[in-house]
Amino acid sequence: MRVMFAREAFKPAPGFDFHQLDCATQPGRTPGKSMEYDIIEKVSDIAASDLKLDAKLSEAARVLLRYFPFEQCLLYFEDSGALKLRAEANGQLQAVQAYEKGKGLLWHACEAGVPVEVFKEPDAASWESIEDRGLYGATHALAVPLKGSGRVYGALYFKSAGKGKLSLLKRQMARITALQVVSLIRCSELESRHSRVYDELLQMQQKLVNSEKLLALGDMAATLAHEIRNPLLSIGAYAARLKRQLPPESPGLKYLEQMSADIGRIERIMNGIIRFLKDNAVELKTEDLDSIADEALALFNDEFSAHNIKVERLRAAAMLPILADREQMKIAFDNLIANAIQSMENGGTLFVKTAAFGGFAVARLSDTGGGIDPKYFGYIFNPFFTTKKHGTGLGLPIANSIVMRHKGQLEAGNEGPGAVFTIKIPYAGAQEAASITPANGAA
């Protein structure tokens, strides 16, 4: 067997002109338009086409097979440390699906970084020194690495059972077409990255439009809420006065009671809207997330026992310092706890776990109330979205906006028999330590 390393073999002779070299040998071709020109043009056409990457590669393999004196053209991609078959234009020879790192002629070429051409006499028993099952039945092969910007993308593998040795022009062409394939791959990678970025951009834009809509809606709701509130107060309070003045047997009493109940409901909705819209300013101080959670839970003790809800509290090992507006953070907890209670009106368990995790102080509230219908996941933080009969649809949006004002995240999901809400607030421990150190140093 002879192995020819291409580094020397492919060096063009001085004054070499590949355009004219093989023209004379190609019957039926007009001078000046060589077969090489055709191949380069065809591969360029394929690269510029609307085909998907795999279709482009298969098409390119077919075109290359027509030109090179081989019976099989395989295209391998480097993929997590192995060379994997990605496209093929086939003859009768064996195609190995994948080469582990370092194995076969392909890796040899990739590691050398240059094309490698090998051939053996047809009667020679084996390929000495090269172990490559893909060479079984072949007598002539060419492996061309696909390289660009210092990265190996894969390799082209040509094989044949015939006799032959590539002309200088064909070796030149092997390199040129390999470069074309590399740019085809890179273009396609860029394109898919571009379309991914574009999709992300569209999504972001949609989010922005949504939040602008919410803002506009918010302004309107704030004005409405304020304008409605005073007259509502007046109606409600006068109804209560009237109720006190009517004799106990008066049939009008039950109408007034109904009026008062409904007015109370509207007032609660108004309070929710105003709280959601107006609490934009946060006064941040170093607070302990653990104790905020405890305080918020304590407010619900009566309701927990009324609904037969058990609370399992798992505390963090140490304080969980965060920069927070304590009152607002409690409101966020209130809303999440109220939400959990509403989902477990016939009893259950609320697990409240606090911990430091990955730069965040984390509070995790999970219930056994049946969880969130997955089709609603996209909506639960939208204001006024509710699945409850008398819900305002503001509890979770309020909690979410408060957490966001603390540069944190509120995540919702399902776990076991219920829903789980996770509040993550940046851990203030590190910053605090950093600001204390210089002062200590100075003292």
Site residues (vs another protein, CB under 8 A): 225-226, 229-241, 260, 263-264, 267, 271, 274-275, 278-279, 281, 283, 327
**Residue 222 CB, nearest approach to another protein (Å):** 10
Helix (H) or strand (E) holding 3: strand 2-5
Tokens of 357: 């995790």
Least CB distance from residue 240 to another protein, whole Å?
7
Q: What is the C-alpha to C-alpha distance for residues 301 and 144, in angstroms, rounded to an integer?
A: 74
CB of 279 to another protein, least distance (A): 6
Cβ-based nearer residue to another protein, 237 or 306: 237
d(CA 427, CA 438): 20
CB of 190 or CB of 224, closer to another protein: 224
DSSP of 379-424: TTTSTT---STT--S-HHHHHHHHHHHTT-EEEEEEETTEEEEEEE
CA distance 127 to 30: 41
- Cβ closest to another protein, residue 29 vs residue 275: 275
Tokens standing for 199? Answer: 């999709």
Report the nearest approach of another protein to the CB of residue 352 (Å). Answer: 25
Contact yes or no for 63/44 (Cβ under 8 A): no
Measured from the CB atom, is 282 or 311 closer to another protein?
282
Q: Where are the beta strands (DSSP E) in 307-399?
A: 309-314, 321-324, 348-357, 360-366
Counting DSSP H helices and E strands in the chain, the numbers are 12, 14
Contact present, 367 and 343 (Cβ < 8 Å)? yes
Asked if residue 271 lies in contact with residue 335, where contact means CB atoms within 8 angstroms, the answer is no
- 147 versus 226: smaller Cβ distance to another protein: 226
Of 156 and 256, the one with the shorter C-beta distance to another protein is: 256
Least distance from another protein to the Cβ atom of residue 283, Å: 7
Report residue 158 as tokens: 């040509």
Question: Which of 103/275 has CB closer to another protein?
Answer: 275
Closer residue to another protein (CB): 64 or 394: 394
| CB of residue 405 to another protein, shortest distance in Å | 13
Give the shortest CB-281-to-another protein separation in angstroms: 5
CA distances from 219 to 5, 71, 139, 213, 278 (A): 74, 72, 79, 10, 10
Write down the least CB distance from residue 229 to another protein, Å: 5
User: In sequence order, what are the beta bridge partners of 311?
Assistant: 350
